[in-house]
Amino acid sequence: MMSYEKCKRKVNNAFFLTHILVHFGQLLYFCTFKTAIQIIYNMPYSDSSDTPWESLYAFVDRYQANTATVAQEADAVIATFEHSYKKWRQCTEYFYSVHNETKDGSRYYGIAIVIYSIALCTIKDSKRAVDAATVLQREVERYCKEVDYRGDIKADMWHNLALCQHNGGALYERDAIEAFKKEAFYQLDSSNNTSHSNLECYTFRRIDKYLLESLVRESIGLSSPSVFNDIFDCPLMEILSADDEIARLIRTAYSECLKVACFCKNDKLTYTNEKGDIVHREKKHENDEPEYQKELLWAHYADSHRGVCIRYMFPGEFTTHTDDGRVLFFKDVVYKDDLKYLKEKNGLNLEEAFFVKSSCWEYENELRLVCYNPSDKGQELHGTMSAKNVVAAVYFGVKCPAEDRESIIRLLQGRHYEKKLLSIKDNKLHEEVQRLPVEFYQMEKDPEVFGKIRARRIEV
């Protein structure tokens, strides 16, 4: 008969072997389906029966909807996060089932960091604020590197980090500005992820060395809103000029990183209306003349008809392929009769911040290309960016000197621009890229309609 001790050892050994096999099976499952949506089994966590997910969910559930509670219990929030965050990190790779709903671990851990950052903002002691901001920044940078998307959460993280650094005093002002830059980057990046294929628009230019350089290098010019001819342009910049320390830092962040190129376009960009329908090529005004015939634009921006109007054709990839850390997008300007409401609002949305102008400018039908680069330091008010194969046509002003016209034609002759065509063949979508030659036109007074100008094709 087997002794009690021997029997006990066999049972323990059997239990241990079973335990190893179960965890080995879980390891194989994890390695095979790591990136798939899955329901996580209970994992050991500290000395409590809670898993990292359960404690993370409880933390977020308690504080997410009530920032007042976060402020009141700031010390407890800070202590809980700093005790648990290294274990909570592992939740970012998984989805969980809670009350028959799927919860994204990466989202919940991001919210936990935001809650922690709100609590840190209540710290008044500057040394403690700086020490805490160091921990926070390290975790924010890790989250932004390892977690895709979640731009809204990342923006909140960087905003609160900037506030923490501001609490550290003047010595950390530059750090706060850099954090506000990152906040703006994620705000803009998460708000604009639409590309517009074969986007046709126009710009009016005087003929000078900057224009010729841009044609030679195949680039387009960008400018800081601070040099625009409308003193109320980009309302956010004007409103942030108020006597407030935080506002001043945010204004500096935008001023250093934001540059804009302005175009004319009679059609609205493709958009989705309130019914969910996609609307293409809707006219901004019913009776608009073609862009290249707008005499006020010739007079104001093309050296009183001595310059040129350039037609561009931008591919969808122009704004979707930005792997160099920039945010790049097109957006129509919206015109308002009264701008006073902007000053009275507690906050501005993206459109109100950069794309609202007084209705006295409505004749321009302005389309903007916004370039936001958080790496910029603001030393230059103007800049350029590469724009290959996008010049589709050049219109020479009525008073354009012949030698300037001939120089530009020689420069661009033989160049092409690209246009994508989609077709359905054999029930499959096919994409064809056409390479078309740059066209040239001479503007002249219309002999049939006094007071109008027209374009005559130049054969080369």
CA-closest candidate to residue 331, choices 144, 193, 175: 193
Q: At a CB cut-off of 8 Å and minimum separation 6, what does 114 contact?
A: 153, 156, 157, 160
Sign of CA dihedral 236, 242, 245, 248: positive
Q: What is the mean pLDDT of the chain?
A: 84
User: For residue 248, what pLDDT band results from cuts at 50, 70 and 90?
Assistant: confident
Evaluate if residue 343 carries a pLDDT over 60.
Answer: yes
Residue 101, strand partner residues: 98
Q: Where are the domains of the chain?
A: 10-36, 40-191, 199-458
Position 145 scores a pLDDT of 93
Position 316 scores a pLDDT of 87
Question: Tens digit of pLDDT for each residue in 282-302?
Answer: 999 999 999 999 999 999 999
User: Regarding beta strands 439-445 and 391-396, do their DSSP bridges make them parallel or antiparallel, or are they unpaired?
Assistant: parallel
Question: Tens digit of pLDDT for each residue in 166-200?
Answer: 988 888 899 999 999 999 999 888 777 677 889 99
Position 426 scores a pLDDT of 79
Position 46 scores a pLDDT of 34
Evaluate if residue 267 carries a pLDDT over 50.
Answer: yes
User: What angle do the packed helices 402-412 and 209-217 form, to 10 degrees?
Assistant: 20
User: What angle do the packed helices 126-146 and 151-167 form, to 10 degrees?
Assistant: 160
Position 446 scores a pLDDT of 95
| HSE-CB for 146 with a 13 A CA cutoff | 17
Sign of CA dihedral 231, 234, 235, 239: negative
Position 306 scores a pLDDT of 98
- What is the model's pTM? 0.80
Tokens encoding 83: 């005790």
Number of residues that this document lists for the chain: 460
Give Cα 349 distance to the centre of its chain: 13
DSSP per-residue letters across 276-330: S-EE-S-BSSTTPPPGGG-HHHHHHHTTTTTSEEEEEEE-THHHH--TTS-EEEE
**Among 224-238, 351-365, 370-384, which is the least confidently predicted range?**
224-238
Dihedral class, residue 50 (left if φ above 0, else alpha if ψ from -120 to 50, else beta): beta
Tokens encoding 50: 């809670």
**Which comes out higher in pLDDT, residue 454 or 317?**
454
